[in-house]
């Protein structure tokens, strides 16, 4: 199960640091419950998104207009 970290912590089992906004992944329901009770994890699991469905915009395709270039002197 993948869950968003809501408060930074060091995992007591692995020593690995987790920062706010990162994803904590575990199948240990007891550990997840413990971390949620401590306020370290969000109450909902992260939905799985297949990598093939993620669309990454090309460098040239943005929502902002191109920057203006100053006139040559």
pLDDT tens sequence for the chain (73 residues): 999 999 999 999 899 999 999 999 999 999 999 999 999 999 988 876 555 545 555 555 556 666 666 666 6
DSSP SS3 for 73: coil
Which pTM value belongs to this model? 0.61
**Among 40, 43, 46, which residue's Cα sits nearest to residue 8?**
40
Token couple for 20: 């706010």
């Amino acid at each position: 199960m993948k869950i968003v970290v809501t408060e930074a912590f060091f995992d007591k089992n692995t020593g690995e640091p987790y920062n706010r906004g990162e994803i904590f992944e575990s199948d240990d329901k007891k550990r997840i419950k413990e971390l949620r009770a401590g306020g370290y994890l969000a109450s909902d699991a992260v939905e799985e998104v297949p990598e093939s469905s993620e669309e990454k915009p090309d460098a040239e395709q943005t929502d902002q207009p191109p920057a203006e270039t100053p006139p040559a002197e």
